[in-house]
């Protein structure tokens, strides 16, 4: 083999025989984008589990229930659901999965991320409380995160929320809708 061709063949290998960093990064990028169906499936699986847990938590919100009970229930449901997926080792490796973000139940003036220890919780829901729920699930590091605001009622046919609570909820919803409409293909998250 002529010397020139030999140099071309080893352009991405260092003297010690390892690939150079640029080639490794390119390979990782090619494998870790949404053109890879396996990655899309893992994101979808994490999102589906997160949505089903969110639905179960919303159904459990009633006056008299403690925030810590809802947090524990959400975390337990995440663990139960993720234990049922991706159980066959791929390439000899176990697929990591579970909670990416603990279930948080933030009530009224608590803005977010309230996930208390059992010994700390003194928050019990009452009729009319504004309850913010957020949680995250991951499958092999691919994360699905959900959040929702719900008003605690004993009866599903309760009258609609009015006043300042309704105004705050509507402002949050409107802001999220405006932000969502700004998402466009090719844009950066800083735009």
Q: What is the pLDDT of residues 91-113, one digit of tens each?
A: 778 899 999 999 999 999 888 88
pLDDT beyond 70 at 9: no
168 contacts 132 by C-beta, under 8 angstroms: no
The fold of the 34-156 domain, in CATH, is Creatine Amidinohydrolase (3.90.230)
Cite the beta strand spans of the chain per DSSP E.
Answer: 97-107, 130-139, 142-151
Task: State pLDDT tens for residues 63-75.
Answer: 999 999 999 999 9
Spatial distance between the Cα atoms of 92 and 101, rounded to a whole number of angstroms: 27
Q: How many CA atoms does the CB half-sphere of 11 hold within 13 Å?
A: 7
Domain ranges for the chain: 34-156
Distance from C-alpha of 60 to C-alpha of 70, rounded to nearest angstrom = 7
Say how far apart CA 147 and CA 160 lie, in whole Å: 21
| Per-residue pLDDT tens over the stretch 129-170 | 999 999 999 999 999 999 999 999 988 777 888 899 899 889
Q: State pTM to two decimals.
A: 0.77
Residue 45 has which token pair?
A: 């699986």
């Amino acid at each position: 083999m002529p010397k020139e061709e030999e140099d071309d063949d080893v352009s991405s290998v260092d003297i010690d025989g390892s690939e150079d960093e640029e080639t490794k990064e390119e390979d990782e990028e090619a494998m870790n984008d949404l053109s890879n169906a396996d990655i899309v499936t893992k994101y979808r699986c994490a999102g589906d589990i997160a949505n089903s847990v969110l639905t179960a938590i919303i159904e459990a919100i009633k006056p008299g229930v403690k925030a810590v009970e809802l947090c524990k229930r959400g975390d337990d449901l995440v663990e139960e659901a993720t234990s049922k997926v991706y159980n066959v080792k791929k390439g000899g490796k176990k697929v990591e999965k579970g909670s990416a973000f603990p279930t948080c139940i933030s009530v009224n003036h608590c803005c977010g991320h309230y996930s208390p220890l059992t010994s700390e919780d003194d928050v019990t829901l009452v009729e009319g409380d504004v309850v913010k729920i957020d949680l995250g699930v991951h499958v092999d590091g691919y994360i699905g995160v959900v959040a929702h605001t719900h008003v605690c009622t004993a009866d599903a046919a309760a009258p609609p929320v009015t006043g300042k609570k309704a105004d705050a909820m509507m402002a949050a919803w409107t802001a999220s809708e405006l932000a969502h409409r700004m998402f466009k293909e090719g844009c950066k998250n800083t735009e």
